[in-house]
Amino acid sequence: MDMEFTAEDLAFRDEVRTFIAENYPQELRGKQDEGDELGKEDFLAWHRILHKKGWVAPAWPVEYGGTGWTPTQRYIWSEETARADCIRLMPFGLSMVGPVIYTFGTPEQKAKFLPRILSGEDWWCQGYSEPGSGSDLASLRTKAVRDGDHYVVNGQKTWTTMAQHADWGFFLVRTDPDAKQQEGISFLLIDMKTPGITVRPIITLGGEHEVNEVWLEDVRVPVENRVYEENKGWTCAKFLLAHERTGIAGVAASKRGIERIKDIARSEMDGDRPLLANPFFKRKVAELQTDLTALEFTELRSLAGEAAGRGPGPESSLLKIKGSEIQQRITELALEAVGHYGAPYFRGFGEGDNEHPIGPDYAHRTAPSYFNMRKTTIYGGSNEIQHNIIAKMVLGL
């Protein structure tokens, strides 16, 4: 694989760097590194700027509002936004339901939903997992019963990320209880303001309100909000999960995470020398970088395949497995680097707090980040399930 940038690519990289330097909101700079909790407006501030520029959906086809960038340009974009510590855009509209709608939706659905996803007017959440139906998603029990030109939906979803902010959600529901599991599911777009929807917070180990339970009680959803055919929603679900798993790889963000570990290890002392000079710790960092480089090349091959007209295939499972494992290893190594300073962590040190941070600033978020990242090998389909997909689809076992 030729990794040399052309003159055009280098000019594009300079354009991206200049745009970020001149347009990324000042009030957001450093928020992620410092571990500040991000609100809806934080995410939307950057989203709106990119929408105005026409850069909010690099992976979308041009006819629906995409940029028309090459795989190399998309790679450069992800590298530069991670290098500048830009807040990542919420994926549920842009990377998940948007591609489902422009691939499987009706002309009316495309006209209604796609422009509002691009502009950020609609914030989306994902109604997939249920209590008892996570990795075995096809066993879901949320029901949708046809009543004229509506479905009446009853059930419960869980681990619904950012549902407390959502305007709309995309939900998998069972529309034929007598069919085989995958054959009786439909894909519905549901207005989160519809009567009968209750969102209840789940507070994570790190203390964040990131995920929720969503209860649906006699929620009436117009049939026109069903994407694709009735009982054929599993086709949409698989398509969406392939895109989600590709995005979970997070190569650019992991690169920044490794550089942060190096910075910490240069400051933390191991006796009379920096921790980074410790051969055992240095070897862990090197092994992590080697694995990340291998993952990066796999992601680039996947991007090249998409550019050639092939959607994400079984390799998305590999990206998900290795990407999530590397993310966890980064938080583990960061926690190891700060040592005992990682133990007494608190949920922020804001106005009104009567506690003071202990240790250097870079230590305060290492433990919460470590606990929060335990989720990465579970969401998007657990890594155990991804191994099964690879065994079947790649190895033919």
Q: Which two tokens stand for residue 169?
A: 């959600």
Q: What Å distances lie between residue 69 and 73, 75, 175, 281, CA to CA?
A: 6, 10, 39, 39
CB under 8 Å to 382, separation ≥6 — which residues?
134, 135
**3-class DSSP string for 358-374:** CCCHHHCCHHHHHHHHH
Distance of CA 33 to CAs 28, 252, 259, 339, 364, Å?
Answer: 10, 15, 12, 18, 10
Give me the catalytic one of 130, 210, 244, 299.
244
The residue to which tokens 């994570």 are assigned: 204
For the chain, how far is it from start to end, CA to CA, in angstroms?
29
Helix extents (H) in 250-278: 251-267
Annotation says 244 is catalytic: yes
Residue 250: both structure tokens together: 């997070």
Contact 42, 90 (CB under 8 A): no
The amino acid at 369? S
Residue among 116, 115, 42, 55 nearest 81 (CA):
55
Q: CB atoms < 10 A from the CB of 184, how many?
A: 20
Q: Report whether 140 contacts 388 (CB < 8 A).
A: no
Backbone torsion region of residue 231, taken as left when φ is above 0, otherwise alpha when ψ lies between -120 and 50, otherwise beta? left
Residues recognised as catalytic: 244
